Structure 1
Amino acid sequence: MKPLVLSLFIALGLSTTATAQEAGATPATLKSEAIPAVMEKAVENFIRPGYHRFRDQSATLETDMHALCAGPSAEALDKARVAFDKTVAAWSTVEIVRVGPVIEANRFERILFYPDRKSTGLKQVQAILARPDESATSVETLKDKSVAMQGLGALEFVLFGTGSEVLLKDQQNFRCRYGAAIAGNLLRLGNELADEWDKDGGIKDAWKHPGPDNPVFRDGREAITALLGILVHGAEAIRDQRIETFYKGADNNTFPRQAIYWRSRNTWHSVEANIEALRALMRESGMADLLDEDSRSIVSSIDFVARSLVRVANDIDPDIEAAVADPIERTKLDFLLLNSKDLILRLGNDYGGAIGLTAGFSFSDGD
């Protein structure tokens, strides 16, 4: 497997390491001996359980979609929509892991095609609903179609978008069977990801045992760089792809219908899950163990900012169109923009510098 590429630059002026150097202190050194244990806990306590949850929730979603198709009713539709909400939550917890098997064979885009700035996915889903194609109702043939037609975004439109009232009408209608195939495809992908991370001699062992013969991480420095890269890029995605996609600040135009999951009102549930995932990965992997005792407050400060973001996101109107039109709600959005940037800096500069990834170090494999 090709070494992972994670581009990030630790800025000299803002890093903890730079501050220490300016004060004449000894720069931090990377605790290489502690890295294998941290990587093992990241795999066993966060990554593998995350994919298992996504797989299992996708299975429930598929079951509930088939039940809706067989017996259309308001109750069955509500049950399928709740299963969708739970699948979004399960995916949003593990989607920060944008490395490894999930980026192979376009698995990530097949699960979630977003952002979709040109509405490519929406147009394709609307087209197939307008001109039914039976090949979209089978997992085996759906998986060969456009990635934008086979994931959570497509299923959200099926369940919540214009025309979704047809799901309450005829048994085995095309729209429902297409939705059931999407759910089945999500389960297929969930099974593949869980299997890849469960397999002995595969990615999980490569993550746990960095070394010169390892095809992924040649040493502990590369390994911990990748792990920190997940956190930094995850925080960047929250700001750049989850918020700035539709809101760039009080003086800018807003685009509420470009927000992720706006139809199902899962925008903030997804953002909360993304942030909680950052907290969980740091906690469950024991990344604080790579810090000197006098630097461990850095982890506490990161967690404080993350919890503040969760608290505010949980308090924003789930109706995105209403939120961007309300001055009070926009103040909360401004808070998220400002403090999500702070979170990125604390992770990359403060934590990265404190563990010995010194100023000027790039999160890359050197290609």
Structure 2
Amino acid sequence: MRKLAVLCLGLTFLTTALVGCGSDESVSDGTSLSSPTPAVAPPGLREQAPSPADGKGQGNEVSTRKEVVTGSVDITAHDPIAAAATVADRVRAAGGRIDSRTEQPDTEDNDPAATLTVRVPGDKTDAFIDGLGGVGEVTRVSTNREDVTMQWEDLDAKIKALQASVDRLRALIASATNTADLIAAENALSSRQGELDSLTAQKRRLDDQVALSSLTIDITATETETEGSGPDNFWDGLVSGWNSLVDWLQDAIVFAGKAIPWLGFLAVLGVLGWGIARAVRWRGTSTRSHGSVPVAGPAKSESAAAVETATSEESGKSSGTKESGE
């Protein structure tokens, strides 16, 4: 048992000695097995990685949505013209503007109506539409929200890149030493400046669409009660009958005024037709009379010859009788 215990102690001491040697070698090489050094990221990747503060700012910028809101609202009111004036006042109070306004007053043929195209701040659009219920009865509401965040960011990135390129070209023009470099730089600057102005105009228009929603508001008159119910008493019936008579007379006068030109035109056509028919009839009669002259001429001559013969014979007989009497 003692030999076994001594053997175990010897093995333990040998193991400790070996471990101590390995630790000394690690220390002498300048490395530590128990505390490894962290891996160092490449310089390029480290520059691209955002800091926590930067990451927070970028997250807020990306999360900001750019929306273009358009819509239409239909309203019925007793006085559409007055309702349109109220809507215009509310648009100005909300910080918006009126792009177009059309009003149709009440006439005999048309009911009053009004149409407005307004621009309202995007963050106040919903509240503005909800407030239109106080102007009249809102019968229909339609809105559309188009997300243009990617389009806006793309334009913004292109504008920044072109602006940097324009700045570099201007610096090259300022430091150009020969005419060829100066002309090349000016040509490139002109092209880049044109693209920059175009993109800036697009972004400005997009910002205006995002900032102000576009709404079309149609205001019509409230439908009155049907006039199918007749008068309730004698006086109302008399008035209604008189109004009907006046309306009928007015319609008859208008119809007569429209018919007189047609009657004159038809009369002219009738006179022309009668003249043509008379001319044709006269021509036919003249033709028949001219055709009977050759036939009647000889018959009249033969009768005359017979009469003359008979007259001569009677004359001869008369002369013979006188002679015999003598």
TM-score, length-normalised on structure 1?
Answer: 0.18
Q: If you compute each CA radius of gyration, which structure gives the higher value, 1 or 2?
A: 2
Higher fraction of strand? 2
